Amino acid sequence: MEVFAEVVGSAGYLEVVPPIFEHIEVFQRLGPATDVVRKEMYAFEDKGGRTIALRPEQTASVVRGFAEHRPAVPYKTWYAGPNFRYERAQKGRFRQFDQVGVEVLGPYDPHLDAETITLAWRFYERLGLRRVTLLVNSLGSAEDRGRYVDALRVHFEENRDALSEESRATLAANPMRVLDSKREADIELVDAAPLMLDHLSDDSAEHFTAVTEALDAVGVPYTVNPRLVRGLDYYVRTTFEFAADALDASQNAVGGGGRYDGLAAEMGAPETPGVGFALGVDRTLLACDAEGVFAAPASAVDVFVVDATDGTEAVVLTDRLRSAGLRVDRAWDGRSMKAQMRAADRSAAVLAVIIGEDERASGMATVRDLRGDGGQETVEIGQLTDILRARLR
Ligand code: HAM
């Protein structure tokens, strides 16, 4: 999260906090034929008889907020938080999952598409992931897409009998979704289907070329995948997805996004282009594990208080040291001195502060090095904070 905030913060994106639930109509804009809307929404009626849904993603809410409050453009935002989809839960596919993402409203500039993609790429780089690949595609404008969908419909209708039953049902609602099918029966027909990239208008083709040239210029590697379709209907022109090669192919999409130039107008704002992405935090962490990019977890505390008196010294000392800005923990349940020292070792703290009856009587404390040679010194309690600070520097 902090790394993401730093990467996008360096590009002037400001944090927004979209609501966890909305009127269901807001999410229906994601496309009535999409799985997300048809099957995966957690929708319920509230006490006022309104139909409410938990957010399956956050783009719709950010754009709804934009339409409602009309901030100045370019409106550059980022967000982080949970989303809910009623899916068959399995590794990497959860019913509650976290995303971090950005949304920008205003510019139509293809360099902005490249900026967002580059920020996501730099984020993965900063995490230390090396086996992430970027796929890009253009879905053209709404008109290009209309022509393309017609061509697809003709292609699939001509071979309707060969399609799987599910795809025949999808075909009626949205022929583009048939391209998503991984079913054995459909593979041949999907492979032979016309390509969107061959149906782009000049304007859309130029836009896409400018995006890829900008990615070349900043050195972000990508593969153009004309078969890339995303699971939401608001996309036009640029779409992209990040795949983690260290994960199983069925759940290896660690992030995705694209342009949604028509969405703001659909939500009641004047025509305003938009572009953004969301990265799946859970899957990104699985990819980090699979690539072994995280170092051993850092210790949660620097100082461990060992109290061999009646336990009251630890109550007071932990509070005093924490108030002085130190990270401090202690053991519980009146354990023996030996058990407390084992707990101190397990905590991975750098220093132990030990108080026994002798120290208490003389107003002293023993500071022991838990990492280096285990050396120790006895110090006056009044000087303890300064000494700990100096030793931790
Ligand atoms: P999405 O592709 O549906 O796009 O989700 C983005 C990412 O969220 C996926 O690549 C994946 O990593 C993660 N994700 C989705 N569903 C699950 C799940 N059930 N379990 C775990 N992770 C999951 C969007 O949500 C768009 N709003 C992205 C966007 C922003 N487009 C434009 N702006």
Which tokens belong to 257?
């996004």
Interval 8-36 mean pLDDT: 94
Q: Is residue 320 part of a domain?
A: yes
Interval 311-327 mean pLDDT: 96
Q: How far apart, in whole angstroms, are the C-alpha atoms of residue 67 and residue 272?
A: 9
Last-in-domain residue among 291, 325, 344: 291
Say if residue 296's pLDDT is above 70: no
Last-in-domain residue among 239, 271, 291: 291
Is the domain of 367 the same as that of 230? no
Q: Which residue has the tokens 């107008």?
A: 265
Is the domain of 57 the same as that of 133? yes
Is the domain of 14 the same as that of 50? yes
The SS3 of residue 198 is helix
Is the domain of 259 the same as that of 329? no
**Residues 6 or more apart from 198 whose CB is under 8 A from it?**
none
Q: Is residue 159 part of a domain?
A: no
- Could you tell me the residue range of the domain that residue 124 belongs to? 2-141+201-291
Q: Is residue 193 part of a domain?
A: no
CB 109 within 8 A of CB 73: no
103 lines ligand 1 (CB under 6 A): yes
334-367 pLDDT per residue, tens: 999 999 999 999 999 999 999 999 999 999 999 9
DSSP string, 208-226: HHHHHHHHHHHT---EE-T
56 lines ligand 1 (CB under 6 A): no
CB 16 within 8 A of CB 105: no
Is the domain of 309 the same as that of 287? no
Is the domain of 60 the same as that of 108? yes
Is the domain of 41 the same as that of 99? yes
pTM summary value: 0.86
Is the domain of 313 the same as that of 285? no
Q: How far apart, in whole angstroms, are the C-alpha atoms of residue 139 and residue 207?
A: 11
| Closest ligand 1 atom, residue 87 Cα | 19
Is the domain of 7 the same as that of 85? yes
Q: Which residue has the tokens 């520097």?
A: 393
| Closest ligand 1 atom, residue 89 Cα | 19
Q: Is residue 175 part of a domain?
A: no
| N-terminal to C-terminal alpha carbon distance within the chain | 26
Q: Is residue 177 part of a domain?
A: no
Residue 29 sits in a domain whose CATH number is 3.30.930.10
Number of domains in the chain: 2
How many angstroms does the Cα of residue 280 sit away from the middle of ligand 1?
6
Last-in-domain residue among 291, 317, 333: 291
For residues 248, 251, 253, 259, the Cα torsion angle rounded to the nearest 10 degrees is: 150
Is the domain of 90 the same as that of 30? yes
Q: Quick one: pLDDT at residue 219?
A: 98
Query: In this structure, what DSSP letter does residue 297 have?
Result: P
Q: Is residue 386 part of a domain?
A: yes
240-293 pLDDT per residue, tens: 999 999 999 889 999 999 999 999 999 999 999 999 999 999 999 999 999 999
Q: Which residue has the tokens 């492979």?
A: 191
Q: For a pocket test of ligand 1, which of 13, 57, 286 has the largest count of ligand atoms closer than 8 A to its C-beta? A: 57
Q: For a pocket test of ligand 1, which of 37, 116, 232, 241 has the largest count of ligand atoms closer than 8 A to its C-beta? A: 232
156 lines ligand 1 (CB under 6 A): no
45-83 pLDDT per residue, tens: 999 999 999 999 999 999 999 999 999 999 999 999 999
The two most distant CA atoms of the chain are separated, in Å, by 94
Q: Is residue 163 part of a domain?
A: no
The pair phi, psi for residue 206, each rounded to 5°, is -65, -40
Q: Is residue 158 part of a domain?
A: no
Q: Quick one: pLDDT at residue 26?
A: 96
Q: How far apart, in whole angstroms, are the C-alpha atoms of residue 179 and residue 184?
A: 12
Is the domain of 215 the same as that of 314? no
Q: How far apart, in whole angstroms, are the C-alpha atoms of residue 238 and residue 277?
A: 11
Is the domain of 256 the same as that of 311? no
